[in-house]
Structure 1
Amino acid sequence: MAENSKIAWTTHTFNPWIGCTKVSVACDNCYAEAWDNRFGGERWGPHAVRTRTKTWGNPVKWNRQAEGAEERPRVFCASLADVFDNHRSIEKAWRRELWTLIRQCPNLDFLLLTKRPQNITRFLPDDWGDGYLNVWLGCTVENQAEADRRITHLTDVPAVVHFLSMEPLQGPVDLWPWIDSLQWVIVGGENSPRYRPADPDWFRNLRDTCAASGVPFLFKQWEGRNQREIEAKGRELDGVVHDGYPPRTC
């Protein structure tokens, strides 16, 4: 959990706790729930208890290793949970300690991705101000309905980077109403034995919107039944690998 992540857009993953509840169609084939089921965790659903991990020392180690490095490591927090989940079993102390940890790791950029952007403001630390320089706020958007529902909640919160993870993309999305408030867009198909096919034009239209607005665009993957099948398809979209990232914020 995970020293060097295989996720294309992050360096490491860190989970302060594990567990979540499905909230939209992007969650239907949730990889994190499948991971938890393999270990008998039973941490998914509104009545399931979230559990704190023992990996809190990892970011401290990565921060020390990154001292003076030319490239800042990106830390996806949390890949097996949602930092802005309002579940009753998530203790207030966990969140306070997470923000303290983030402040203590200035050499890392923490990527906080949520499907609950309406909860962000409620759980920010008192000293958030215009945003921590090493925290990027993002939300998942899989179709137009979720774009309409989520993006404004995200962009209304001050942050040095606002980003979207449009994966697994489940339909065409028009980003023009928000594109000037975004600093990064990640797009990809679904990884699941029950994956739902994506129309390549959905990806192309988002690529073109980002290009026209100068927003970094990252095409993560095509859809497939498993990681091996997806990797065999490569990461090219119309013959180009799109690996856009926001500029450094620290």
Structure 2
Amino acid sequence: MAENSKIEWTTHTFNPWIGCTKVSPACDGCYAENLMANRYQRVQWGAGEDRQRTGAANWRKPIAWDKEAKASGTRPYVFCASLADVFDNEVDDRWRNDLIDLIDATPNLVWLLLTKRIGNVMKMTDPARGHRMLPRNAAIGATIANQDEYDRDRLKLWEVKQGLDPLFTFGSFEPLLSRVALDSFAPDWIITGGETDQGSHKARFTDPQWFRHLRDQSAKLNRAFFMKQMPRKQEIPADLLVRQWPIARAAA
């Protein structure tokens, strides 16, 4: 859950628990909800619903990945989490502390903690509130679907960068729902992509020029840029097939 992830910008995907609440336009066609709530009926999505912690065998996988990385001298990326949000208000603080312990215990892995709740990160990693500090091998990312979200969250992500000193920061501009103008507060890594169909939800329109605009701004601001996919699995134009990483990672 899952080794050798199919997500192009990571090596592995790890889900410490499953379940979330929609809080962004990016959530409208939620892959995780369509898979785990609608298809498998494993959890209920939404506020006040229980999150389901994954099993012990799943939690042991990163330990094995770390040992392999140490032996090979590589630094694999681990995306956490595709089926939940690490900084979800509904999650038991003890679960999050257990996750931080696991990240601390796997220093050869680069942990990508992506959230739609970037405003929670500072307080949920504050020892004065009884929380564990953010490990040095963790990168923090925010989902940013449009200009309004960028304007709202860029300074929150910058605060995390300045206050917690993560390995790097990143923005997941996927699904990209509008043209976005970056500035000097842009995250270190710009990941972007179009939407895919999810159940009854059909992929929304994305203009290729929006991707080109992010690519060009990333170059000017000295940010790494990663183009993941076009909407509806269209082929990526050759000039947009740019895939950069902030630091070296293991080969896919």
Instruction: Find the counterpart in structure 2 of residue 227 from structure 1.
Output: none
Q: For this pair of structures, how many residues does the alignment match? A: 235
CA offsets, 1:42-79, max 9 Å, x none? 33111321010011111111111111324311000111
Residue 165 (structure 1) aligned with residue 172 (structure 2): yes
Match of 1:192 among 171, 178, 197: 197
For 1:136-151, what aligned pairs fall within 5 Å after superposition?
136-151=139-154
Which amino acid in the other structure matches residue 159 of structure 2?
A: D
Instruction: Find the counterpart in structure 2 of residue 201 from structure 1.
Output: 209
Instruction: Find the counterpart in structure 2 of residue 221 from structure 1.
Output: 229
Residue 71 (structure 1) aligned with residue 60 (structure 2): no
Between the aligned partners of 2:156 and 2:107, the Cα distance in structure 1 is 26
Instruction: Find the counterpart in structure 1 of residue 31 from structure 2.
Output: 31
CA offsets, 1:14-40, max 9 Å, x none? 011100000011000100000112111
Between the aligned partners of 2:126 and 2:107, the Cα distance in structure 1 is 16
Q: Is the 8 A contact 1:43 1:51 kept in 2?
A: no
Give 3-state SS (helix, strand or coil) of 1:186's partner. strand
For 1:117-136, what aligned pairs fall within 5 Å after superposition?
117-124=118-125, 126=127, 128=133, 132-136=135-139
TM-score normalized by structure 2? 0.89
Q: Which has the higher contact order (CA 8 A, sep 6+)?
A: 2
Instruction: Find the counterpart in structure 2 of residue 111 from structure 1.
Output: 112
Deviation at 1:178, TM superposition (A): 1.7
Give 3-state SS (helix, strand or coil) of 1:21's partner. coil
Greater shift, 107-116 or 190-199, is seen at: 190-199
For 1:70-109, what aligned pairs fall within 5 Å after superposition?
70-87=73-90, 90-109=91-110
Q: Is the 8 A contact 2:18 2:43 kept in 1?
A: no
Question: Per residue, is there more helix in 1 or in 2?
Answer: 2
TM-score normalized by structure 1? 0.89
Deviation at 1:114, TM superposition (A): 0.3
Between the aligned partners of 2:123 and 2:183, the Cα distance in structure 1 is 27
Report % sequence identity. 46
Give 3-state SS (helix, strand or coil) of 2:228's partner. strand
Give 3-state SS (helix, strand or coil) of 2:171's partner. strand
Q: Is the 8 A contact 1:96 1:125 kept in 2?
A: no
Give 3-state SS (helix, strand or coil) of 1:68's partner. helix
Greater shift, 151-160 or 113-122, is seen at: 151-160
Between the aligned partners of 2:53 and 2:30, the Cα distance in structure 1 is 20
Instruction: Find the counterpart in structure 2 of residue 17 from structure 1.
Output: 17
Q: Which runs of 4+ in 1 moved over 2 A?
A: 68-71, 125-128, 233-238
CA offsets, 1:104-124, max 9 Å, x none? 001101000000000001211
Which amino acid in the other structure matches residue 169 of structure 1?
A: L
For 1:53-72, what aligned pairs fall within 5 Å after superposition?
53-54=54-55, 55-72=58-75
Give 3-state SS (helix, strand or coil) of 1:107's partner. coil
Instruction: Find the counterpart in structure 2 of residue 48 from structure 1.
Output: 49
Runs of at least 5 residues in structure 1 that lack an aligned partner in the other structure: 225-229
Deviation at 1:197, TM superposition (A): 1.3
